[in-house]
Amino acid sequence: MIKKENLKIAIASGKGGTGKTLLSTNLAAFLSERESTLLVDLDVEEPNDSLFIKGNLIRKTEQHKMIPQWDESKCTLCGECTKNCKFHAVVQMGKFIAVFKELCHSCYACSELCPAKALPMHPYKMGETAEYSYNNLKLIESRLMIGEEQAVPLIHKTHKLVEENFSNSIFLLFDCPPGTSCPVIAATENADFVILVTEPTPFGLHDLKLAVETMRKLHKPIGVVINRSGIGNDDVENYCKTEQIDILTKIPFDKNIASCYSKGELVYNKLESVKHSLNEILDSLKNKIPCQSLQGFETLKGI
Amino acid sequence: MKEIVVLSGKGGTGKTSITASLAVLAGSEAVVADCDVDAANMHLLMQPDFAVASQFYSGELAEINQNICTQCGLCSNVCRFDAIPFQNNKYTVNPLACEGCGYCQKVCPTEAISMKKRKSGYVYISNTKVNSTMVHARLDIGAENSGKLVAKVKSKAKELAEHQNKYFVIVDGSPGIGCPVVSSLSGASYVVLVTEPTVSGLHDLERIYSVIKRFRIKAGCIINKHDINPQKTEEIIEFLNRENIVHLVSIPYDIAFTEAMTQAKTIVETSSRISQKLIDAWNKIKEEAAKN
Amino acid sequence: MRIAFTSTGKSWDSIIDSRFGRTEYIVIFDEETKTLELVDNSAVKNEAHGAGTATAQKMYEVKPDVLITGNGPGETAATALKNLNMKIYVDAHNLTLEQAYESYRNGALKEI
């Protein structure tokens, strides 16, 4: 059982466009009305939480990964480096050695195995992390540079930054990248609980199953939020029942949500139904996680 | 043969529903390729029979032969991905963390480490409900889409199209702008962009179009859910005009999409008003693709 | 002049491979000796990523004067090729190598 002051919740979904950002931003803003809350946008290829949480920019930090840099004066053009790079990130261009940063996995093999020590590792900017402040809510947003393809190193760096500087927040929410591949695994790594957002359609169900499979493999406790409830069918609900997965809440389908969302607005303080759903989530979480900070929300029950 | 690739940049724009609609309209005229393997959903609408399955390998994975390993720990030391922990009195490779760089293999003094091909999923060749052939894939958990997988799905689809004398290959492209997208695009005759008027929709559209432009491939655009934000829709149309992208059709937000999906149908198999819009779009796509 | 083609097959009447990085073969035609040289690039199929730079590396080994292809190299591959003194002609889609060579001679292909 988890017993600690702060609570780390990851918000994930098998596919894009199910309402992961909608839930993350609204839940974070709502929680921050009571306790200091941190929202971390780990959808580093397309981060967009900051479109909804319009806070003040506190600072931006460059994030680096280590890549080899060719030292012409030492190089004997033996060609070992191009053979040692499995990712074709090091190319011998005639009498030059070129390093393709986007393809480099920072494995150090070319650098440390170079007999002439002609490829020392240097930091290279792969992205940046911005910190925003909005009343009691802090937002951390990591963004990969355009053309960078590897999300995992930046996600790890972001986790580290959060651990070092923001462990005093009571609620830490992680908005994860979509899918079931390495970036999601990296993003949910520290979470005490994972909320999977889905929609009651065959697409939603199919992707939810994959996400559940992934989270079970990682031994994460999970709960499901059904967004756009009312459309589609009951298959998602039946699946959750059969698999004994709790449905934390159902956010009813409402065209107003889509319209607010398209303009970059938060909805929970405009639409009572959304606020109700957020309360339901907290009520369910309280029963699952013996975290004192959640108990503080008792008074909100029934609003 | 014409290869038509449908792309969107971000998820949730309705790309797959629209691609499946085009595939149904094309019927047996086309071979279908689902390259959106991270969220491979098209099979839910095309009802393929998974007739032929073959295992797919991508990248490599280190493997330690415990009989030869002397537990010197060098592999674990050089691994930058913490993929070789010492557990239960032995060094073992964590397959979720291993990136397949092969550094450990190079430094192992007793040659106890070998690089194995990493099994990453299945590629299927199926017959669909509209009597066409579909090539699709399923990734294992933790496995990533790659340029390699996309190339494989596409080349299989093309080969079958040639063999069956089909005029079209319809490709549901990969999301994002990375390697799989470049692989989705290369060799394409025409690109159909699916976007929606949201704050991130236009931004993603611009990013993806910069890749398409590089390959000089002609493109048309479908604006889905155009009525949720008329102002953004205007901005998208301005962008299309500026870049000479054909505005194929605007589709209103309609619950009918979901209703159809719930019955495992595409919208063009229902009596929805949107049906005709997609029929018009498909005719325009055929016309534009033929111009090349 | 040595002219390289990205090709789907091994012969003069094979069709151009529109792709650069993942081209099946590179066929080189030597205009002086009128001979064809074949580079099998099919192993690139096994590369999950980095096909563009892998094929670019091959081009440095064969050093042609001209490359005739379809879409043209992607951004990364184009950067990898820039130190190679090689002209690149594109849009030879669906042509045989022979037809593509004729088009190139007639100035019908676009140089990038």
Of C47, C75, C79, the CB nearest to A88: C47
Of B80, B81, B232, the CB nearest to A262: B232
Domain A70-119 falls under CATH 3.30.70.20: yes
Predicted confidence (pLDDT) at residue B113 exceeds the cutoff of 80: yes
Residue position matching structure tokens 């014409």: B2
pLDDT for position B228: 87
Cβ–Cβ under 8 Å, residues A65 and A121: no
Consecutive 10-residue runs of chain A (303 residues): their mean pLDDT? 71 84 94 92 88 92 93 94 92 87 91 96 93 93 82 91 89 89 88 94 89 91 94 92 94 87 87 92 84 62 42
Distance of CA A238 to the CA centre of its chain: 28
pLDDT for position A38: 95
Residue position matching structure tokens 């290869």: B3
Does the distance separating the beta carbons of A92 and C60 come in below 8 Å? yes
Q: Which CATH number fits domain B60-119: 3.30.420.10, 3.40.1000.10, 3.30.70.20, 3.30.70.1070?
A: 3.30.70.20
pLDDT above 90 coverage of chain B, percent:
63
Mean pLDDT, chain C, rounded, equals 89
pLDDT for position B291: 81
Which one is predicted more confidently, C83 or B100? B100
Nearest-CA distance from C63 to chain A in Å? 9
In chain A, domain spans: 7-64+127-300, 70-119
Number of domains composing chain C: 1
Chains that touch C (3 or more CB pairs under 8 A): A, B
Predicted confidence (pLDDT) at residue C49 exceeds the cutoff of 50: yes
Distance of CA A98 to the CA centre of its chain: 33
Q: What is the pLDDT of residues A207-221, one digit of tens each?
A: 899 899 989 988 999
Residue position matching structure tokens 């590089």: B214
In chain B, domain spans: 2-47+128-290, 60-119
Does the distance separating the beta carbons of B100 and A86 come in below 8 Å? yes
Structural domain harbouring C93? 2-111
Q: Is C51's Cβ below 8 Å from some Cβ in B?
A: yes
Nearest residue on chain A to B120, judged by CA atoms? A181
- Residue range A7-64+127-300, CATH number: 3.40.50.300
Cβ–Cβ under 8 Å, residues C109 and C87: no
> What burial letters (b/e) apply to B79-88, b meaning 16+ CB within 10 Å?
bebebbeeee
Does the distance separating the beta carbons of B100 and A51 come in below 8 Å? no
Predicted confidence (pLDDT) at residue B200 exceeds the cutoff of 90: no
pLDDT above 90 coverage of chain C, percent:
35
pLDDT for position C51: 87
pLDDT for position A301: 44
Q: Domain B2-47+128-290 has what CATH class? A: alpha beta
Which one is predicted more confidently, A292 or B221? B221
pLDDT above 70 coverage of chain C, percent:
100
- Please, which pLDDT band fits residue B254 given cuts at 50, 70 and 90? confident
For the ranges B103-112, B225-234, C12-21, C80-89, the maximum mean pLDDT occurs at B103-112
Contacts of A11 (CB under 8 A, 6+ apart): A20, A23, A24, A27, A173, A174, A175, A176, A194, A195, A197
Does the distance separating the beta carbons of C49 and A88 come in below 8 Å? yes
DSSP per position, A223-282: EEEEEEETBS-SHHHHHHHHTT--EEEEEEP-HHHHHHHHTT---TTT-HHHHHHHHHHH
Q: Is A89's Cβ below 8 Å from some Cβ in C?
A: yes
pLDDT for position A132: 96
pLDDT for position B177: 64
CATH value at residue C28? 3.30.420.130
Cβ–Cβ under 8 Å, residues A237 and A211: no
* Rounded mean pLDDT, C15-26: 90
pLDDT for position B46: 94
Predicted confidence (pLDDT) at residue B69 exceeds the cutoff of 50: yes
pLDDT for position A3: 43
